[in-house]
């Protein structure tokens, strides 16, 4: 009841657009960092949360969190749902791709355009080392119509659940990678499509980022090789728009909830104060506390500010697994394999990665000086997760 009442209070008075907006937004002027606008929309008789979310390019949990009084199991014809469409830009460099794991959302800053494009995403689930790592890496490879060689960790997980899966899945409707994939750094983590749109906005993958089919096609065609990808984990975001101060509070990822338990309000206060630095501001701390309780992920006005915020990323939570750690471990494993070739097969068998094999016409590989990567590119194969 508290969550329902709190959500109603927070959303009351927000101006909501009557039409679906495009995913491209002009960047705010004067250092502001809030984009877009929210809306309400009517569900169809055949709708589920997933089909409704996909129609409005929103994520599954984004719709559920913003509508806490709605059952995820049933939507009745004519129900009006709140569709989040306003976002505070993540506290990260405005270049390339920025992914906020806690928000289950990706932002792309096309170079020289002064705009930002945003899409809902699915991310890695907890367990089996499948959490999506944080950090910054470039896009090193692009493949259209990839063939998925299933990672041993996925095969083992399916076996534990009494299911079997082929070792190789060709392009087509059964391929979880969808029609497009892009590699993040020299790792097995990808940005790709999906054959299950209902998983976008959830934690269902083996660590990769996945988008709706239409979204990944647009992103794939826009992204050049070398584009930086910054992955952050920011359950709290603070923003300013036209002198109004905003807070966006999401549920922390499961593995961070113990860290936030009982002190989310304190963490939020510190985050707001750090962002404001020493500027004069008028903050409604009662509303800040309410937002940390209801965790709708919807930006709400919490006061006024006299200037732009200090960009400090003080509210970021770093996952225990980072891209830097993964690549360092891979280099150590490669060095060990080179020193002791007889163990290289065992190392590969236990790596938990799979292989995406691309049609030659659909493969674009980044230039690299690493011998093992050159060999892989020559063989037209690349390491991939799922």
Which positions are catalytic?
192, 208
Euclidean distance between CA atoms 281 and 366, whole angstroms:
47
Can you tell me the distance from the alpha carbon of 238 to that of 309, in angstroms, rounded to the nearest whole number?
Answer: 8
Q: Do residues 187 and 368 touch, judged by C-beta distance below 8 A?
A: no
Whose tokens are 């990665």? That residue is: 353
Q: ∠303-308-314 over CA atoms, to 5°?
A: 85
Task: Residue 121: name the closest of 134, 139, 103, 109 by CA.
Answer: 103
Give phi and psi for 160, each to the nearest 5.
-60, -25
Structure tokens at 278: 């020493």
β-bridge mates for residue 276, sequence order? none
Distance CA 219, CA 171 (A): 19
**How far, in Å, CA of 188 to CA of 194, rounded?**
17
Strand, coil or helix: what is 115?
strand
- 3-class secondary-structure state, position 72: coil
């Amino acid at each position: 009841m508290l969550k329902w009442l709190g959500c109603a209070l927070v959303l009351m008075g927000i101006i909501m657009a009557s039409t679906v907006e495009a995913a491209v937004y002009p960047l705010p002027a004067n250092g502001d960092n809030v984009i877009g606008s929210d809306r309400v929309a009517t569900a169809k008789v055949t709708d589920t949360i997933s089909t409704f979310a996909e129609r409005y390019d929103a994520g599954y949990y984004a719709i559920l969190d913003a509508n806490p009084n709605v059952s995820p199991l049933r939507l009745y014809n004519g129900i009006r749902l709140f569709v989040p469409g306003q976002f505070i830009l993540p506290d990260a460099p405005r270049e390339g791709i920025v992914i906020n794991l806690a928000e289950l959302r990706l932002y792309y800053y096309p170079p020289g355009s002064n705009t930002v494009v945003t899409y809902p995403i699915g991310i890695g689930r907890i367990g089996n080392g499948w959490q999506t790592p944080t950090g910054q890496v470039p896009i090193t490879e692009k493949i259209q119509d990839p063939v998925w060689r299933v990672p041993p960790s996925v095969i083992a997980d399916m076996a534990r659940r009494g299911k079997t899966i082929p070792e190789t899945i060709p392009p087509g409707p059964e391929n979880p990678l969808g029609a497009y994939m892009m590699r993040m750094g020299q790792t097995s983590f990808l940005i790709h499509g999906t054959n299950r749109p209902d998983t976008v906005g959830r934690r269902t993958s083996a660590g990769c980022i996945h988008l709706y089919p239409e979204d990944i096609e647009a992103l794939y065609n826009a992204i050049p090789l070398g584009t930086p990808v910054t992955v952050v984990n920011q359950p709290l975001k603070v923003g300013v728009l036209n002198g109004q101060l905003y807070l966006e509070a999401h549920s922390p990822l499961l593995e961070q909830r113990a860290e936030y338990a009982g002190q989310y309000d304190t963490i939020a206060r510190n985050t707001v104060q750090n962002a404001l630095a020493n500027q004069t501001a008028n903050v409604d701390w009662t509303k800040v506390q309410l937002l940390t309780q209801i965790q709708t992920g919807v930006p709400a006005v919490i006061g006024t500010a006299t200037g732009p915020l200090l960009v400090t990323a003080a509210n970021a939570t770093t996952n225990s697994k980072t891209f830097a750690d993964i690549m360092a471990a891979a280099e150590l494993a490669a060095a060990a394999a080179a020193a002791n070739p007889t163990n290289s097969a065992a190392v590969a068998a236990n790596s938990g990665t799979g292989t995406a094999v691309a049609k030659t016409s659909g493969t674009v590989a980044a230039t690299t000086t690493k011998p093992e990567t050159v060999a892989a590119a020559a063989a037209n194969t690349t390491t991939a997760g799922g």
